[in-house]
Each structure stands twice: as C-alpha cells, then as structure tokens.
Amino acid sequence: MTTATASVAPPSTSTSSVLLRRRLPSPAPASAFARRLGPPRRARLLIQVTLASEVSSDDVAAEEAAAAPKIGRRVRVTAPLRVYHVVKAPDLDIQGMEGVVKQYVGVWKGKRITANLPFKVEFHLTVEGQPKPVRFFVHLREDEFEFVGDE
C-alpha cells in the first residue's frame, strides 16, 4: 500500500509552472504603442549628444595640417615609460629610445576621434639571438617625446 502512494507525485505549484500556463494578452498594434508612449527618452538623449559633438571640417583639416609635418620625423622619448607588449623584451623601458613617427591617429576618416595617445611611433630594438632588430609600435602623446635631427 505504501508503494502506490509513493509513486504518485502531487502536481507542481511552483511559480514558474504557473506562469508558463498563463496566457499572455495580445500585443497592441505598433502604431498605437508609438502614439501612446512617444519616442524613447534614451534615443532623444543620444541624438542630443551626437549633435553637440559635431566639429566643423575646417577644424579637422587644420588639425590634420598641423600634424602632417610631424609624420616621418625622428623622435626621442623623454618621459619614463614602460611597455609590456613587446614579446621579445617584456617590461621594456623606452625612455631615451629613438624612433620614427608613422601616423597621427587623432583624426580618422575626416572626423576627430578621442585618441589620448595620438602619435604612433615605430621603434627598432636589437635583441640578442635575433638576426634582425625587433620592430614595434608605441602610441605617445606629444609631450612624451622630442624631435631630433634637422628641424
């Protein structure tokens, strides 16, 4: 007799099973929903931020023109900086090293971007056991290096 009552389980009354059985109301048409609530507030905020950050093309062109003479020039790092992304020389101190400015990344596709380290500088490092010097790039601010050679 005890085996017959043990094999029958009571129906589940958990909240999740009750919610699965409940029928959801039919959704309102999209046009009625849009009329009732209007556009979402977050979308309005994003539009305001985008419009406030517009920069004239003359300012961007002037910034590109100011950075153009610096590209291709030889520089020496004046700030005490350590880089960790060079595989052959981890924890490398680049203060005093000389390299070449390869790119200005403060302007991209004609628009100003918020690059906090806008100058891409290429360095060559001679490593023992390597036949060729290791080439690596570091992004620097203008106050972290000085120009060397012909002015």
Q: What is the pLDDT of residues 64-88, one digit of tens each?
A: 888 889 999 999 999 999 999 998 8
Query: Confidence class of residue 16 from pLDDT cuts 50, 70 and 90?
Result: very low
Instruction: Decide which of 15 and 121 is more confident.
Output: 121
pLDDT at 41 over 90: no
Ordered structural domains, the chain, with CATH: 14-52 (no CATH), 57-147 (2.30.30.50)
Task: Please state, in angstroms and rounded to a whole number, the distance separating the CA atoms of residues 150 and 113.
Answer: 30
Write the CB contacts of 57 (distance below 8 Å, at least 6 apart in sequence). 110
Q: What angle do CA 112, 113, 116 make, to 5 degrees?
A: 125
Both tokens of 18, joined, read 């009750």
**What is the phi-psi region of residue 27: left when phi exceeds 0, alpha when psi lies from -120 to 50, beta otherwise?**
beta
Task: Please state, in angstroms and rounded to a whole number, the distance separating the CA atoms of residues 64 and 57.
Answer: 10
* R_g of the chain computed on alpha carbons: 31
User: Would you call 121 helix, strand, or coil by DSSP?
Assistant: strand
* CB neighbourhood size of 117 (10 A): 14
